[in-house]
RNA sequence: UCCUCAGUAGCUCAAUGGCAGAGCAUCCGGCUGUUAACCGGAGGGUUGUAGGUUCGAGUCCUACCUGAGGAGCCA
């Protein structure tokens, strides 16, 4: 016997290998160590069924009184929800257990026993929104939140992988900025060494600079909106992925957005089936998400809204109800393009065929989830931008560097921003975006 | 900022203007295959706050506080 094998055998006797619960099937019949927390305990006289949680999954343990020492049985009987544990036992396949496997516990070490006088507040029963939100730091331990945030991870990773494969370079944009990026929304103001600074509402203007340096770029980070908005699709702090490409047009960006959303959905379906099942998501609605997505003009969107009985008039921006109505018209995400220039930001390129329109695009998610992407082609002409900045009464000096981009090698370029939380809410089919981010920041909610 | 709704036990919720209730959680007891385990028992309340109407207010009125949903705005 080699030294390595002998060391391994010695380890098996004293300390079986530490195994994550989602890998438990590979250890059938073998002794393992589980490190985690008590999820729930059912007791039936001389047999106990503790359920262990380690962050990767749940595993039911079985403790028969006459099969373990009196000390172990007594310790297990006293366990409280979320007490931290190190458990040793043997894995056994059993159809009576969720997941198909259970652990015959031989030893159980309690790291910290949650006191019965101050028990873990979030029980397996129902709780209200306020109660759970006040305890978000503990709520994250639940199976549902675990599934949502694993899917969020998959979506973030898919965004990165997709853009990397497409030749885009991650070039981060600053979070502290000297002025409004677009001049349209309300910003969070902060003190920057006796100067006013603002939390970014978009990395786009900076990506326009970096795309002239690298060709194809994206930024991926938190963005901030200080509107006193209070709906199920709004957060004051949310994450946005924003690709921007030199020489790209509106059509290029519609193609890219369509392929990116398709890739994201495919990756979640391929790698997060278990999590979608935990959320009881109807995956058939996601399986049909492939190119081409329907593309309609703003004009056509207005016609659809009128046909559906909306009092909507040409010239305005869509409200939440309008977005829901449009999204419900299609089973795939829909791209709405060529909006009235008057309702869009100053940097939008005008449609050469109809200058009153801007070459912008929004992608509306199906199932009533509204806008998940906004973007378009950027104005390349210096004089046009100067005129827009003046018309919209924006502080010109704040845009001096931005205007330089039109002086030194201006090219057509385009990009878009995708709000991660709304994509997570759609793919998980959640009632509210507050569950899509670990610690949501909303109007009237800054803690925990 | 505006509109609507809500606030009762640790949690989720009941209670015609007339004795403050249930399930779960907790504690005690029972149970060797439980699946949000089950069965029996016990403790647990300034009904968001401050006024008002009334013989009597959890219930009706006023103001405020907190939260939720929505509008506007936004990804």
State how far the Cα of A371 lies from the Cα of A263, in Å rounded to an integer: 18
State how far the Cα of A11 lies from the Cα of A163, in Å rounded to an integer: 45
Q: Is residue A187 part of a domain?
A: yes
Residue A442 (CA) to nucleotide B10 (C1'), in angstroms, measures 27
Q: Which nucleotide is nearest to A129 (CA to C1')?
A: B68
Q: Which nucleotide is nearest to A97 (CA to C1')?
A: B35
Residue A435 (CA) to nucleotide B57 (C1'), in angstroms, measures 40
Residue A126 (CA) to nucleotide B8 (C1'), in angstroms, measures 18
Same domain, A92 and A171: no
Residue A138 (CA) to nucleotide B66 (C1'), in angstroms, measures 22
Same domain, A81 and A144: no
Residue A76 (CA) to nucleotide B34 (C1'), in angstroms, measures 15
Same domain, A190 and A247: yes
Which two structure tokens, joined as six digits, stand for A161? 């992988």
- Positions in chain A short of pLDDT 70: 1-14, 180-184
Same domain, A52 and A140: no
Same domain, A59 and A205: no
Asked whether the beta carbons of A58 and A39 are under 8 A apart, the reply is yes
Q: Which nucleotide is nearest to A372 (CA to C1')?
A: B75
What is the reported pLDDT for A183? 55
Question: Which nucleotides of strand B lie under 7 Å from a protein CB?
Answer: 1-2, 10-13, 23-27, 30-38, 66-75
What is the reported pLDDT for A293? 96
Q: Which nucleotide is nearest to A43 (CA to C1')?
A: B34
Q: Which residue has the tokens 């939440």?
A: A320
Q: Is residue A448 part of a domain?
A: no
Q: Which nucleotide is nearest to A431 (CA to C1')?
A: B69
Residue A133 (CA) to nucleotide B4 (C1'), in angstroms, measures 22
Q: Which nucleotide is nearest to A117 (CA to C1')?
A: B26
Which two structure tokens, joined as six digits, stand for A302? 């207005």
Beta bridge partners, A335, equal A295, A363
User: ∠A89-A95-A98 over CA atoms, to 5°?
Assistant: 75
Same domain, A305 and A257: yes
Q: What does each C-alpha distance from A304 to A206, A309, A394 come to in angstroms?
A: 36, 9, 35
Same domain, A307 and A421: yes
CATH number of the domain at A62, please.
2.40.50.140
Residue A116 (CA) to nucleotide B27 (C1'), in angstroms, measures 10
What is the reported pLDDT for A335? 95
- Residue with CA nearest to B30's C1' atom: A45
Residue A225 (CA) to nucleotide B65 (C1'), in angstroms, measures 26
**How many domains is chain A partitioned into structurally?**
2
Q: Which nucleotide is nearest to A423 (CA to C1')?
A: B75
- Tell which residue, A201, A175, A173, A196, has the closest CA to residue A186: A201
Same domain, A77 and A205: no
Q: Is residue A420 part of a domain?
A: yes
State how far the Cα of A436 lies from the Cα of A343, in Å rounded to an integer: 29
The sign one gets for the Cα dihedral A337, A339, A345, A348 is: positive
Burial (CB count within 10 angstroms: exposed 0-12, middle 13-18, buried 19+), residue A428: buried
The sign one gets for the Cα dihedral A295, A300, A305, A307 is: negative
Q: Is residue A300 part of a domain?
A: yes
Residue A227 (CA) to nucleotide B66 (C1'), in angstroms, measures 21
Asked whether the beta carbons of A223 and A202 are under 8 A apart, the reply is yes
- Residue with CA nearest to B25's C1' atom: A123
Q: Is residue A125 part of a domain?
A: no
Q: How many CB atoms lie within 10 A of CB A416?
A: 25
CATH number of the domain at A425, please.
3.30.930.10
SS (H, E, C) chain A: CCHHHHHHHHHHHHCCCECCHHHHHHHCCCEEEEEEEEEEEEEECCEEEEEEECCCCEEEEEEEHHHCCHHHHHHHHCCCCCCEEEEEEEEEECCCCCCCEEEEEEEEEEEECCCCCCCCCCCCCCCCHHHHHHCHHHHCCCHHHHHHHHHHHHHHHHHHHHHHHCCCEECCCCCEECCCCCCCCCCCEEECCCCEEEECCCCHHHHHHHHHHHCEEEEEEEEECCCCCCCCCCCCEEEEEEEEEECCCHHHHHHHHHHHHHHHHHHHHHHCHHHHHHCCCCCHHHHCCCCCCCEEEHHHHHHHHHHCCCCCCCCCCCCHHHHHHHHHCCCCCEEEEEEEHHHCCCCECEECCEEEEEEEEEEEECCCCEEEEEEEEECCCHHHHHHHHHHCCCCHHHHHHHHHHHHCCCCCEEEEEEEHHHHHHHHHCCCCHHHHCCCCCECCECCC
Residue A408 (CA) to nucleotide B75 (C1'), in angstroms, measures 31
The whole domain housing A105 covers 3-112
Same domain, A424 and A323: yes
The sign one gets for the Cα dihedral A393, A396, A402, A403 is: positive
Burial (CB count within 10 angstroms: exposed 0-12, middle 13-18, buried 19+), residue A226: middle
The interaxial angle of helices A382-391 and A400-407, nearest 10 deg, is 160
Same domain, A226 and A324: yes
Q: Is residue A128 part of a domain?
A: no
State how far the Cα of A189 lies from the Cα of A405, in Å rounded to an integer: 27
Q: Which nucleotide is nearest to A229 (CA to C1')?
A: B73
Q: Is residue A124 part of a domain?
A: no
Quick: pLDDT tens for A394-448: 888 888 999 999 999 999 999 999 999 999 999 999 989 999 999 999 888 888 8
Contacts of A160 (CB under 8 A, 6+ apart): A170, A220
Asked whether the beta carbons of A238 and A222 are under 8 A apart, the reply is yes
Q: Is residue A120 part of a domain?
A: no
Same domain, A108 and A156: no
Same domain, A387 and A258: yes
The sign one gets for the Cα dihedral A146, A147, A153, A156 is: negative
Can you give the pTM of this predicted structure? Answer: 0.93
């Amino acid at each position: 016997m080699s030294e390595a094998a002998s060391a391994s055998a010695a380890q098996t006797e004293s300390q079986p290998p530490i195994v994550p619960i989602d890998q438990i099937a590979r250890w059938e019949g073998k002794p393992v160590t589980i490190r985690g927390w008590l999820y729930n305990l059912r007791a039936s006289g001389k047999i106990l069924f503790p359920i262990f949680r380690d962050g990767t999954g749940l595993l039911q343990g079985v403790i028969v009184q006459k099969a373990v020492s009196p000390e172990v049985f007594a310790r297990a009987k006293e366990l409280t929800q979320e007490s931290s544990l190190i458990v040793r036992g043997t894995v056994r396949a059993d159809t009576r257990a969720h997941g198909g496997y259970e652990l015959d516990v031989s030893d159980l070490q309690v790291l910290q026993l949650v006191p019965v006088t101050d028990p873990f507040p979030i029980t397996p029963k129902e709780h209200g929104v306020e109660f759970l939100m006040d305890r978000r730091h503990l709520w994250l331990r639940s199976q549902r939140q675990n599934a949502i945030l694993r899917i969020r991870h998959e979506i973030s990773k898919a965004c990165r992988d997709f853009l990397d494969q497409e030749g885009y370079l991650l070039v981060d944009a600053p979070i502290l900025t000297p002025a409004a990026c677009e001049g349209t929304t309300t910003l969070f103001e902060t003190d920057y060494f006796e100067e006013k600074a603002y939390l970014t509402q978009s990395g786009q203007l900076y990506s326009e600079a970096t795309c002239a340096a690298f060709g194809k770029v994206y930024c991926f980070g938190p963005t901030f909106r200080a509107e006193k908005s209070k709906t199920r699709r709004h957060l004051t702090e949310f994450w946005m992925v924003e690709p921007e490409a030199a020489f790209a047009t509106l059509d290029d960006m519609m193609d890219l957005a369509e392929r990116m959303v398709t890739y994201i959905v495919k990756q979640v379906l391929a790698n997060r089936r278990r999590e979608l099942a935990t959320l009881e998501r109807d995956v058939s609605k996601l399986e049909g998400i492939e190119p081409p997505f329907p593309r309609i003009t703003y004009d056509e969107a207005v016609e659809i809204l009128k046909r559906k009985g909306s009092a909507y008039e040409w010239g305005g921006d869509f409200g939440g109800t309008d977005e829901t109505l449009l999204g419900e018209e299609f089973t795939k995400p829909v791209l709405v393009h060529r909006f009235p220039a008057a309702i869009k930001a100053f940097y939008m390129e005008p449609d050469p065929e109809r200058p009153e329109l801007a070459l912008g695009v929004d992608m509306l998610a199906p199932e009533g989830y509204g806008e998940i992407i906004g973007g378009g082609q950027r104005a390349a002409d210096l004089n046009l931008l100067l005129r827009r900045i003046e018309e919209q009464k924006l502080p010109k000096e704040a845009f001096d560097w931005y205007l330089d981009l039109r002086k030194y090698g201006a090219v057509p370029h385009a990009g878009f921003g995708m709000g991660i939380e709304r994509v997570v809410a759609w793919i998980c089919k959640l009632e509210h975006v507050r569950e899509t981010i670990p610690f949501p920041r909303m109007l009237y909610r800054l803690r925990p």
